[in-house]
Chain A
Amino acid sequence: MKRTALVPTGEATIGPFFPPRYVDAGANDLTLFEGRKAKGEAIEIRGRVVQEDGVALENLVLEIWQADARGIFRHPADPRSAQADAAFLGWGRAVTDTQGSYIFRTIRPGAPQGRAPHVNFMVMYSGLMRILKTTMFFSRDPDPVLAAVPLPRQELLVAKLEKPGIYRFDIRLRGDNETPFFDD
């Protein structure tokens, strides 16, 4: 059965009025799902999001998607999805505070097949006509997505271990040491 090809709908900015109630309480905590604790090492990812002039961006929406502690995605395209941690959804949403800071509580992901451990990020904000997509890594371990980034900028995608279990991943939308974003 052949269907007609359709063109994907045009994106638009999320604007300044995304309803606060859409950032559900606990949506930034991936370690708990329906009252159950995910398997693996609980970690925090913290950071600050700034624009060109270094000004912190408040009320900016971030979403993450990642594999579970064993590197399995909760999705049927992953051949190992039947073994995915039932207590881990892999998705979360956070919003930045007045200082531009965000926090996710999550599980340190395992390495998916052919990839180093990583967390996918999306940035949605007023003034962004398109969702900005980037990926956070825990180390410089070989990875095809990290390798696609020009060498001098790769370090910007590696989170800094602040103290045990706490990683810092700052996001600079534009300007010096700008975070690399992907064109997809």
Chain B
Amino acid sequence: MKTVIEARDERTQPARLVPGYPQTPLRNPREPLVSRQPTLSELTGPLEVARRVKLLGGDIAGHGEKRAIGQLIHLRVRVLDEDGAPVGGTVVEMWQANAAGRYIHPNDDDHAPPDPNFYGAARLVTDGNGLFELRTVKPGAYPVPTRDGWWRPPHVHFSLFGKVWLSRLVTQMYFPSEPLNAQDRILNAVPDAAARERLVARLIAPTGDPHNALVFEHQIVLRGREATPEQP
């Protein structure tokens, strides 16, 4: 099982220096990044992270009296490689703000209230079809402390491992038709419009789901493809 990793089209990836995101010029290298030929070290990676970390179930909206406040949503996310092959058995970490735009984190000193029934994190393993599902509430938008009018639109964070070191991905998923998407400095750091569009989940037409959840589908593509086996 060999994975081939090729350079990505830079236009489909975010700029490192983002106007109006004041931490970016302090923390990104000034020197040019160094090119290397990947070796076995970068073309292997941890496949058993699930044996090292504690998994957290994907039903994080609570039930009954303990139901989190907000619009109930069901996320159905498929994880594929660059050939469209499902990436099964890989750890996915997800985190998000509550419906009021507040994270459960010491760094979040926003005035929005925490919700005692919402922590906002799940850690799952994709199934054999590369699928994982979450029952959560739609995150709220929130102002960024730059205090210059930048608000983050509703978004969900994902961290994924994939099959090799270079397939590791940290990304964010957005919601369709959100007015704040058009001015978000992080989403719009990706130059290519089609690549930005692929960061936005798709609303599935409601069908009378008895669970009162809006269903969103999303696709995440990890770097790499399986090498064609050598012919004997």
Chain A residues with CB under 8 Å of chain B are 3-22, 24, 27, 33-34, 51-53, 55, 57, 59, 63, 65-67, 73-78, 89-91, 112-115, 118, 120, 122, 124-133, 135, 144-145, 148-150, 153, 173-175, 178-184
Question: In the complex, how many angstroms separate the beta carbon of A144 from the nearest chain B beta carbon?
Answer: 7
| Most chain A CB inside 10 Å of its own CB: which residue of B13, B24, B97 | B13
Q: A5 to B80: give the CA distance in the assembly, Å.
A: 11
Contacts of A13 in B (CB 8 A): 170, 186
Q: Is B93 part of the binding interface, using a Cβ–Cβ cutoff of 8 Å?
A: yes
Q: Contacts A76-B1, A112-B41, A184-B36 hold; do A9 and B199 have CB atoms under 8 A apart?
A: yes
A174 touches B36 (CB 8 A): no
Asked if B73 is at the interface (CB within 8 A of a chain A CB), the reply is no
| In the complex, chain B residues 60-102 whose Cβ is within 8 Å of any chain A Cβ | 80-85, 93, 95, 97
Query: Which 10 pairs show the lowest CB-CB distances between chains A and B?
Result: A127-B23, A91-B46, A75-B44, A183-B33, A3-B84, A73-B44, A17-B103, A12-B172, A129-B14, A127-B27
CB within 8 Å for A118 and B189 given contacts A11-B171, A27-B53, A52-B25: no
Q: List 11 A-B contacts (CB under 8 A).
A: A6-B83, A13-B186, A16-B105, A16-B107, A17-B103, A34-B51, A66-B41, A77-B3, A112-B39, A178-B30, A182-B35
Answer whether A10 and B199 are a contact pair too, CB < 8 Å, given A52-B27, A113-B40, A115-B39: yes
- Cα distance, A180 to B3, chains bound together (Å): 25
In the assembled complex, the CB of B161 is this many whole angstroms from the nearest CB of chain A, namely 9
Q: CB distance B44 to A78 under 8 Å?
A: yes
Q: Which residues of B are in contact with A by a Cβ distance under 8 Å?
A: 1-3, 5, 7-9, 12-16, 18, 21, 23-49, 51-54, 56, 80-85, 93, 95, 97, 103-108, 119-121, 123, 157, 159, 164-166, 168-172, 186-187, 189-190, 195-196, 198-199, 219-223
B39 touches A17 (CB 8 A): no
**In the complex, what's the smallest C-beta–C-beta distance from A60 to chain B, in angstroms?**
9
Chain B residues whose CB sits within 8 angstroms of the CB of A150 once the complex forms = 34
Quick one: which of B35, B169, B189 contacts A148, CB cutoff 8 A?
B35
Least Cβ distance of B221 to chain A in Å?
4
Q: What's the dominant secondary structure at chain A's contact region? A: loop
Closest to A8 in B: B223
Task: Tell whether, in the assembled complex, residue A145 and residue B33 are in contact, meaning their CB atoms are under 8 Å apart.
Answer: no
B166 and A184 contact, CB distance less than 8 A: yes
> Distance (Å) between the CB of A140 and the closest chain B CB?
16
Instruction: Given A9-B198, A122-B168, A178-B30, output 4 extra A-B contacts at Cβ < 8 Å.
Output: A12-B170, A22-B123, A51-B27, A182-B35
